[in-house]
Amino acid sequence: MEEQTPSQNNWLKKVWFSVRIPFLAIILALLVGAIILLVSGANPLEAYWQLFKGAFGSWRNIQRVLEKSTPLIFAGLAVALGFKAGLFNIGAQGQLLLGALMAGYVGFAVKGLPAYIHIPLALLAGLLTGAVFAAIPGLLRAYSGAHEVISTIMLNYVAINLSDYFSEGPWKDTTPGNIVSRLPAIQPSAEIPNIGPVPVGFIVAVLTSLLIWFVINRTTFGFEINSVGLNPHASKYAGMRTKLLIVAAMVVSGALAGVGGAVETMGVVGRFQPGFNTGLGFDGITVALLARNNPIAVILSSLFLGAMKGGANTMQFYANVPNQIIDIIQGTMLLFVTAEMVVRWVFKLRKQRDTEITVTSGWGQR
């Protein structure tokens, strides 16, 4: 027993080293949030308490947190996988949006299927749409050198315009009395059910995280993606087909984002409606960086963000604090988790080489 203590200590130390920066970033962000609450005349303790109660106060609330976390997990995985391959997929937002749109279309337009066929079919529609839409920047990056940050930002707006067009035009909900531009409600057979308070979508998301972890850490494809992300030139020299890998990574990333949108449509909103999933792709960036691109940790950071989103309304109602404080906390968190230097400086931590992550290169380089 005595001999095991040091190794146990080491193990604890290792875990602490890998989580300390995100953990301290969260603490700092909550502090910044508290200061802003104080400045605006609100009571931060009261606000955070209501936020917490709103997130975990009842089984219904916990279910809502799980619902909110589900698309975040998929978006986070999409961005994290991109980062692994050295790609910054800001376009997760657009891929997610079109995935949600197509799942909404298949959800309402295809009738008379049993749920066990309809649900996978609609999910598949979201997956394929996301994959195809992400293939465009992937191909452009690989074969024309157009940087994916630029092309995916532009494609996000193309996606917004496309989904607006379909929900205002050809696929508009024409039930009498509806003046909002949105798609009709999906068939009951396309609705993702819950098991107790746990949405089935959440279970699928967790399983997907495990799958992505396995792919990244235990398969050749994962190894090659990692390698391309760390050093594209060396990978090419080692005989990997780097261009194909870039496209493949983008496609898988887009597929994940597309499923995230589909799950949101089929499990939470019940139809596609523009504006309901705004920002989820950008949340994916925060989720991925908070999780340091680790697929398992993506689940945890999604739950954290999901809890804030789930509790926000209760906080707004009972503590009279505008919802937007969540955005402020999230932005600060993103800042602190990427600007490790600030965190280290505040807490006087020493530098650890393996905690650094490369995110993406500038678009000047080829």
Summarize as ranges the residues that interact with other proteins (CB under 8 A).
36, 40, 88, 90, 140, 144-147, 149-151, 153-158, 160-162, 164-165, 168-169, 282, 285-286, 289, 322-332, 334-335, 338-339, 341-342, 359-365
Q: How far is the CB of 14 from other proteins (least distance, A)?
A: 26
Compare residues 189 and 301 and give the one whose CB is closer to other proteins.
Answer: 301
Compare residues 173 and 327 and give the one whose CB is closer to other proteins.
Answer: 327
Q: How far is the CB of 197 from other proteins (least distance, A)?
A: 30
Encoded tokens for 338: 């990427």
Compare residues 31 and 158 and give the one whose CB is closer to other proteins.
Answer: 158
CB atoms within 10 A of CB 135: 17
**Angle at CA 330, nearest 5°, toward 103 and 14?**
100
Q: What are phi and psi of 143, to 5 degrees?
A: -110, -15
Given a contact cutoff of 8 angstroms between Cβ atoms, the answer to whether 134 and 250 are in contact is yes
Q: How far is the CB of 364 from other proteins (least distance, A)?
A: 4
Encoded tokens for 43: 């009571």
Compare residues 350 and 366 and give the one whose CB is closer to other proteins.
Answer: 366
Q: How far is the CB of 116 from other proteins (least distance, A)?
A: 36
Compare residues 25 and 66 and give the one whose CB is closer to other proteins.
Answer: 25
Compare residues 81 and 321 and give the one whose CB is closer to other proteins.
Answer: 321
Q: How far is the CB of 139 from other proteins (least distance, A)?
A: 9
Spatial CA neighbour of 255 closest among 87, 115, 81, 105: 81
Q: How far is the CB of 211 from other proteins (least distance, A)?
A: 27
Q: How far is the CB of 267 from other proteins (least distance, A)?
A: 25
Q: How far is the CB of 239 from other proteins (least distance, A)?
A: 27
Compare residues 224 and 340 and give the one whose CB is closer to other proteins.
Answer: 340
Compare residues 19 and 342 and give the one whose CB is closer to other proteins.
Answer: 342
Q: How far is the CB of 163 from other proteins (least distance, A)?
A: 9
Place of tokens 């594209």: 232
Report the C-alpha gap between 203 and 226 in whole angstroms: 27
Compare residues 91 and 199 and give the one whose CB is closer to other proteins.
Answer: 91
Categorise residue 292: left if φ over 0, alpha if ψ from -120 to 50, beta otherwise: left
Given a contact cutoff of 8 angstroms between Cβ atoms, the answer to whether 44 and 325 are in contact is no
Spatial CA neighbour of 136 closest among 125, 123, 146: 146
